[in-house]
């Protein structure tokens, strides 16, 4: 079929009539499907049920240093867990604090500490007239929700296949002392699935911030979430690059096992320089006695080491990969060549990013919802939920079964076609 923009009004009207009929038939099916969040599927959760039996009443529950994990102590986590997490993201274990199940919780608390107490002796952000954050877009909605809640001004930074537009990042960071941070998902970015290039990582590490309390919030959520063993992306380790530039304190790195083991029962961590960690721990001693060490021990006993974790992730990939490939196949088969959408083809992570015709994303998502398929809200991938082009839609293929996913994807492409035809017709009659 010709590209939709090449169709005349008569052809578009005929096409709309056919698409309207298909859409009414789809609505009549009474679907109730969810593609709104990057959640693990039931098959993934069932695959790791043996995790629950790793520790029982007969288990040795002491750390390798002899600390009883049932009791208080070890504010920064058990040494075995620190080593496992350090190996997961490629840093040394003395740079790690291990927390509870949620890296999002750590990120929230990190912003809160900066707001209330400042960064290494700098003025607390809450006492400043203006605090700004750079936000690569499209990006992770929960990052933006954190900075919005604290009243921090968010500035859009366009993403490229190599990472954020570094010319803009350098201009803002190096020239504006009100810019205090940037959100980053450097490997398999949410939602596009891009991995920052070596050059991008090196430029981040070489930043010369106008604000000495500027920090890179490096959310390495998908460090081990490769879909393909033979063509996985590699991310340059940023702390080593920072050290080369005398920027040891520049980065807070976050990670978790939320999509490695059970999402609600994982472990999470922050990696940072000694100065940053010492500052964080001085505040943590007031906030908490310590994390759930039994859960940390359970993770170590389950994986044993990073090789065990990687073997486990290959099982996840075997479940997820066919779903990604199925969605991408339908997108190409149904929309390829029509000129009404483009999409990313990630090698890992949890999402596919779709770009509709300008002004169509909200319509497409609303049409899907009306027909029984819930998508991530249009605009959610931008600060303040304001996509200036109204074009980005995040597709989350993992949670539905393969049968449900096929139905949901067919409905999605139908809605893309119908919304696009309506947009083109409106432009011809305007």
Of the candidates 303, 326, 348, which is a domain's last residue?
Answer: 303
The least confident of 33-42, 189-198, 259-268, 312-321 is: 33-42
Q: pLDDT class for 428, splitting at 50, 70, 90?
A: confident
Nearest CA among 71, 318, 344, 363 for reference residue 188: 344
The pLDDT of residue 10 is: 96
Residue-wise pLDDT for 314-364, tens only, equals 999 999 999 999 999 999 999 999 999 999 999 999 999 999 999 999 999
Tally the C-alpha atoms within 13 A of residue 384's C-alpha that lie toward its C-beta: 10
Residue-wise pLDDT for 348-359, tens only, equals 999 999 999 999
Strands, E assignment, 385-426? 392-395
Answer yes or no: is 52 within a domain. no
The pLDDT of residue 387 is: 98
Percentage above 70 pLDDT, the chain:
100
Say if strands 341-343 and 153-160 run parallel, antiparallel, or are unpaired. unpaired
Answer yes or no: is 400 within a domain. yes
Answer yes or no: is 194 within a domain. yes
What's the CA gap between 186 and 33, in Å, rounded? Answer: 30
State the average pLDDT for the chain.
Answer: 97
What is the span of the domain harbouring residue 342? 4-45+310-429
**Cis bond leading into 138, ω under 30°?**
yes
| Residues contacting residue 74 through CB under 8 Å, at least 6 positions apart | 63, 67, 290, 291, 293
The least confident of 30-39, 90-99, 169-178, 185-194 is: 30-39
Percentage above 90 pLDDT, the chain:
97
Nearest CA among 410, 361, 413, 405 for reference residue 382: 361
Answer yes or no: is 50 within a domain. no
| Contact by Cβ (8 Å): 405, 327 | yes
Count of structural domains within the chain? 2
**DSSP H or E stretch at residue 287:** helix 274-287
User: Are 133 and 249 found together in one domain?
Assistant: yes
Of the candidates 237, 271, 303, which is a domain's last residue?
Answer: 303
| Contact by Cβ (8 Å): 78, 69 | yes
- CATH number of 73's domain: 3.40.640.10
């Amino acid at each position: 079929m010709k590209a939709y923009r090449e169709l005349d009004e008569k052809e578009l009207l005929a096409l709309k009539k056919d698409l309207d009929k298909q859409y009414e038939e789809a609505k009549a099916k009474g679907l109730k499907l969810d593609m709104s969040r990057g959640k693990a599927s039931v098959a993934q959760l069932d695959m790791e049920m043996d995790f629950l039996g790793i520790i029982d009443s007969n288990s040795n529950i002491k750390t390798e240093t002899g600390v009883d994990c049932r009791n208080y102590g070890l504010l920064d986590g058990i040494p075995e867990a620190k080593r496992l997490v350090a190996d997961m993201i490629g840093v040394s274990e003395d740079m790690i604090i291990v927390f509870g199940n949620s890296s999002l919780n750590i990120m929230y608390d990190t912003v809160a500490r900066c707001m209330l107490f400042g960064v290494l002796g700098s003025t607390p952000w809450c006492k400043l007239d203006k605090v700004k954050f750079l936000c690569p877009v499209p990006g992770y909605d929960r990052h933006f929700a954190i900075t919005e809640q604290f009243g921090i001004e968010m500035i859009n930074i366009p993403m490229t296949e190599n990472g954020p537009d570094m010319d803009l990042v350098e201009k803002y960071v190096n020239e504006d002392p009100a810019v205090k941070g940037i959100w980053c998902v450097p490997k398999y970015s949410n939602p596009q699935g891009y991995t920052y290039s070596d050059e991008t990582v090196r430029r981040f590490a070489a930043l010369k911030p106008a604000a000495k309390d500027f920090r890179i919030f490096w959310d390495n959520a998908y460090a081990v979430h490769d879909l393909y063993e033979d063509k996985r992306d590699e991310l340059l380790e940023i702390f080593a690059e920072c050290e080369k530039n005398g920027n040891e304190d520049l980065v807070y790195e976050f990670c978790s096992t939320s999509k490695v083991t059970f999402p609600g029962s994982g472990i999470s961590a922050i990696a940072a320089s000694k100065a940053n960690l010492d500052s964080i721990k001085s505040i943590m001693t007031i906030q908490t006695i310590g994390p759930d060490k039994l859960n940390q021990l359970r993770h170590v006993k389950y994986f044993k080491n990073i090789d065990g974790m990687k073997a486990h992730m290959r099982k996840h990939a075997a479940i997820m990969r066919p779903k990604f490939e199925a969605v991408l196949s339908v997108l190409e088969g149904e929309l390829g060549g029509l000129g009404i959408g483009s999409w990313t083809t990630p090698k890992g992570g949890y999402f596919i990013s779709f770009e509709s015709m300008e002004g169509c994303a909200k319509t497409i998502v609303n049409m899907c919802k009306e027909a029984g398929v819930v998508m991530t809200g249009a605009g959610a991938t931008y600060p303040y939920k304001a996509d200036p082009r109204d074009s980005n839609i995040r597709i989350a293929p993992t949670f539905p079964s393969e049968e449900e996913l096929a139905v949901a994807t067919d409905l999605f492409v139908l809605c893309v076609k119908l919304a696009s035809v309506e947009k083109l017709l409106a432009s011809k009659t305007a």
